[in-house]
Amino acid sequence: MNKVMLIAGKELRSYLTSPMAYIITCIFLLISGVFFVLYLTATKYADTSIQGFIEPLSVFGLSNIGNVFLPLFASILTMRLLSEEKKIGTWELLLTSPVKDTEVILGKFLGSLGILVCMLVLTMYFPLMLAIFGQPDMGPIWTSYLGLFLIGSSALAVGTFTSSITTNQIIAAVVSGGILFALWFVGMVSNVLPTAIANVFSYISLSSHFSNFSVGIIDTKDIIYYLSVTALFLYAAIRSLETSRWN
Amino acid sequence: MIKVRNLTKYYGERLAVDNISFDVGKGEIVGLLGPNAAGKTTTMRILTGFLTPTRGDTWIADCNMVTNSLEGRKHIGYMPESVPLYTDMTVREYLAFFGRLRGLDAKRTNHRINDVIGLCNLEEYVDSIIGKLSKGFRQRVGLAQAIIHEPEVLILDEPTVGIDPLQVSQTRTLIKELGKEHTILLSTHILPEVSATCGRVIIINRGRIIAQDSIENLSAIVKGARRLRIEVKGPHDQITKRLQRIDGVKKVSREGNYLIVESPIQIDPRSQVTEIIVKSGWTLLSIETVEMSLEDIFLQLTAKDKEESDSE
Ligand SMILES: Nc1ncnc2c1ncn2[C@@H]1O[C@H](COP(=O)(O)OP(=O)(O)OP(=O)(O)O)[C@@H](O)[C@H]1O
Ligand SMILES: [Mg+2]
């Protein structure tokens, strides 16, 4: 566990010393800010009372853009996670140190998760503003954050995996973007499909599991879904690391 | 300390290491010598647990690196060929990371950083960003990283490549110094390196060991031939012709101002050589037996190996 934290710390540190994480965070804050304002003004026209601002579903727009943009940002955040080490060769030092493959992957993943948490914390001035100027229903806000955290960690796990299979960051980002888009897209098309298929599609879709969170409902099914996706892809990353020894 | 048995590694179809076995005892400095693509790096990567062999076993400090690699890795310090570094870290951060990763506690890590910084002459750069260091200093950081956790076994893949002659000799001195406390396996394709640092050499070519022995013994084995180096005043062409007629002399060649006379080891043509030269009225300035250089040994061995495998 010590070594996991050591690697995570190193990773976090390297995020904080390179411009990438800052750029991503800025863009993320910018986009969510714009949506926040848009939602706020839209609901204002719908209902002029202060409480009316806080139509749960809109939770300052963050939840909606969150489940669309967050995976995208996750792909970019994780693309260098392992591919870079493979490319510059420090990989060789990591894998010949007395550290389990699982510890390497978990450390890397947690490092990127740290950045995600920072990003989410930074958006908390939206609900803070709402709380100052109105009486928002905090329930859906917190569950939205939980949902964002879960969907984000799933996306980071996918990115950790794709970063482990290549030395090329761009390929890593494109492949994880592709996987995440596919997982998101099946949710979109499930509406227009026959029920049997639609049910399967909407079960495997990243976005359909998010809707409960954004209206304040915590369903263990959704939590289990996101945790399984995270675990599955981290496991795949560990396996890919093991097979790299076999070359 | 290091034990290798029947090690074979295929990369897909390509055979990189072909059934090699060797041992490195505690406190030895052994050179793994071979031309490009001989399989040196592959062998070291297997020894360090970075790669799994196709067949065969390796042991580091009695830990089987195939079945118990995690334990074995604790005893290894490794400097890969490319000297990989986190270029955005300072030297201190880099060393601290690997110290901790290899199980030192924070206090011990700091202590060790000071030690290795001194050993590797990095005092001036300890708080510099690694990306800004010159190649030679990066090499030293790589070496410092390998010894930070005081491993029993050091595996150094071409430790002096790409650094200037002065630093090369400093690095060799350092390696010898380290050899007092560590068991070292280093690879190189530079011959003087082996004679300068190693007590023993393992020569590999195309994945196979073609010779392994102490450097002195190795020269004796391959020698089979006696080489005389003669400095003589007179018409070299004529002298060469005369000397070639001596019974048993295989070859007379020029090497700068000297003539080299080669003969089988059982024949000593010295007296005849002196006699001929003096009788012909030339002046003999010096005559001496010369050792075969490692370079000669190497060329001879690899040529022999090639002939054998070509005739197969
Ligand atoms: N990852 C790899 N995939 C496929 N083939 C490889 C790989 N690494 C090495 N090889 C091949 O294995 C053989 C041995 O390579 P290796 O790197 O071990 O040689 P070397 O002795 O270290 O050479 P050099 O002195 O150039 O460093 C070469 O033919 C090489 O092309
Ligand atoms: Mg090599």
Of the candidates B50, B70, B73, which has its C-beta nearest A245's C-beta? B50
Neighboring chain B residues of A247 at a CB cutoff of 8 Å: 11, 51
Neighboring chain B residues of A17 at a CB cutoff of 8 Å: 88
B120-178 confidence digits (pLDDT tens): 999 999 999 999 999 889 999 999 999 999 999 999 999 988 788 888 888 899 999 99
For ligand 1, whether the C-beta of B205 sits within 6 Å is: no
Ligand 1 atom closest to B189 (CA) = 25
pLDDT at residue B304 tops 80: no
Considering A53-57, B61-65, B195-199, B224-228, the range whose residues carry the highest mean pLDDT is B61-65
Domain ranges of chain B: 2-219, 224-291
One-letter amino acid identity for B270?
Answer: R
B102-117 confidence digits (pLDDT tens): 999 999 999 999 999 9
- The answer to whether domain B2-219 has CATH 3.40.30.10 is no
Whether residues B52 and A245 touch (CB distance < 8 A) is answered with: yes
How many angstroms separate the Cα of B273 from the Cα of each of A130, A222, B39, B253, B265? 106, 95, 44, 14, 16
Task: Tell which one of B7, B9, B42, B193 to mutate to probe ligand 1, the residue whose CB is within 8 A of the most ligand atoms.
Answer: B42
Task: Tell which one of B7, B11, B15 to mutate to probe ligand 1, the residue whose CB is within 8 A of the most ligand atoms.
Answer: B11
Q: Which ligand minimizes its atom distance to the CA of A246?
A: 1
- Per the structure, how many domains does chain A have? 1
Give, in degrees to the nearest 5, the angle at Cα B152 between B150 and B154: 90
Superfamily covering domain B224-291: MTH889-like domain (3.30.70.1340)
Whether residues A99 and B101 touch (CB distance < 8 A) is answered with: yes
For ligand 1, whether the C-beta of B14 sits within 6 Å is: yes
A221-A222-A228-A233 Cα dihedral, nearest 10 degrees: 160
B64-104 confidence digits (pLDDT tens): 999 999 999 999 999 999 999 999 999 999 999 999 999 99
Higher pLDDT residue, B231 or A137? B231
Ligand 1 atom closest to B207 (CA) = 14
Reported as a pLDDT band with limits 50, 70 and 90, residue B292 is: low
Radius of gyration of chain A (CA): 19
Q: Which two tokens stand for residue B28?
A: 């030895």
- Give the residue numbers spanning the domain of A10: 2-246
Q: How far apart are CA B32 and CA B189, in angstroms?
A: 8
- Supply the pLDDT for residue A62: 57
Residue to test with chain B: of A84, A92, A102, most B Cβ within 10 A: A92
Neighboring chain A residues of B88 at a CB cutoff of 8 Å: 14, 17-18
Q: Edge to edge, what strands does the sheet with B208-214 contain?
A: B76-79, B153-157, B183-188, B29-33, B200-205, B208-214
pTM metric for this prediction:
0.85
